[in-house]
């Protein structure tokens, strides 16, 4: 867990090169697991209802992260830590994961890919407007370049059948929730360590999902095959538990807009995983789109993109 070590970025210290590289490697791994999460969710949804899948995903990951709730000496769960954890748990886990899971079941794969690519832009906008985090011209350009690349990789999709509209709306709502979580999670990690913050928000998300599951009928599948079970385990252990510990740690160490640019790697990894599974060959559009995505990630990660200044503290209280 190298991302969780060392001085905190919010305190004003600039990341050392080795620490920056470790954070970047962690972000690449996170987005690889999240890219694999979309086909895994499709497999799990064959036998498991969306609300139950969300509940299992959050519950298993919360149990695994239970030991992380214990704080080191000098830190404590006071009102300034508990209230943000509750808000982020509901807004960053229970609500968006359920909306995303349901939206995936109602949308076309191509439009899902490009809608998900809007998350970095939404994160940058929310961080800039609500938290006054700077978004220099170079990073703005990086976000737009990578977005165009993701659109090309997805096959230049446009909104299709009217029946998909509900799915599109659900996905956009989930992205707004995720982007808000991305922008505001650093406020919680200023009170408690990133691992504890991830564990607490997952627990809140799991507990908040229980009444929603009950209200939706507490549906249980009559039969679950091996594939959906394995996919659910992957989503819970790797795609949620491990990935979000690393993600919260990364957001504690760099501006949300910079970390969010790495989210554009998901369409690239998604296509590569699909080719590995199906044996399909990459298209010219994939090469063009992937080049733009990688260019955007490199530009967004440049120190000059942030004007050479550390992230401004969002909360002085």
Distance CA 194, CA 75 (A): 12
Distance CA 175, CA 173 (A): 5
pLDDT tens profile 183-240:
999 889 888 998 899 999 999 999 999 999 999 999 999 999 999 999 999 999 999 9
pLDDT tens profile 63-75:
999 998 988 887 8
Higher pLDDT, 6 or 113: 113
Distance CA 199, CA 191 (A): 14
Q: Are the C-beta atoms of 306 and 14 separated by less than 8 Å? A: no
What is the model's pTM? 0.81
């Amino acid at each position: 867990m190298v991302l969780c070590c060392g001085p905190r970025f919010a305190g004003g210290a600039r990341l050392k090169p080795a620490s920056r590289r470790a954070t970047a490697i962690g972000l690449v791994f996170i987005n690889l697991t999240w890219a694999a999460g979309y086909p895994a969710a499709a497999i799990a949804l064959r036998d498991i209802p969306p609300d139950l899948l969300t509940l299992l995903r959050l519950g298993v990951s919360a149990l695994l992260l239970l030991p992380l709730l214990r704080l080191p000496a000098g830190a404590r769960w006071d009102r300034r830590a508990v209230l943000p954890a509750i808000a982020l748990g509901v807004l960053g886990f229970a609500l968006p994961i359920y909306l995303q899971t349901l939206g995936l079941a109602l949308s076309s794969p191509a439009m899902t890919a490009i809608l998900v690519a809007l998350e970095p832009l939404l994160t940058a906008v929310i961080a800039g407007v609500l938290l006054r985090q700077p978004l220099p011209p170079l990073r703005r350009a990086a976000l737009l370049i990578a977005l165009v690349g993701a659109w090309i990789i997805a096959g230049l999709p446009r909104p299709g059948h009217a029946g998909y509209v509900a799915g599109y709306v659900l996905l956009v709502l989930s992205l707004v929730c995720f982007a808000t979580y991305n922008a505001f999670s650093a406020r919680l990690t200023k009170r408690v360590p990133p691992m504890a913050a991830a564990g607490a928000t997952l627990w809140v998300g799991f507990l908040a999902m229980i009444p929603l599951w009950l209200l939706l009928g507490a549906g249980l599948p009559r039969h679950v095959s091996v594939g959906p079970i394995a996919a659910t385990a992957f989503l819970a252990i790797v795609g949620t538990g491990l990935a979000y510990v690393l993600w919260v740690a990364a957001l504690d160490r760099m501006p949300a807009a910079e970390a969010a640019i790495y989210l554009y790697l998901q369409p690239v990894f998604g296509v590569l995983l699909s080719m590995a599974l199906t044996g399909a060959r990459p298209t010219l559009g994939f090469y063009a789109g992937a080049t733009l995505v990688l260019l955007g990630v490199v530009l967004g990660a440049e120190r000059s993109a942030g004007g050479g200044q550390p992230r401004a503290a969002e909360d002085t209280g």
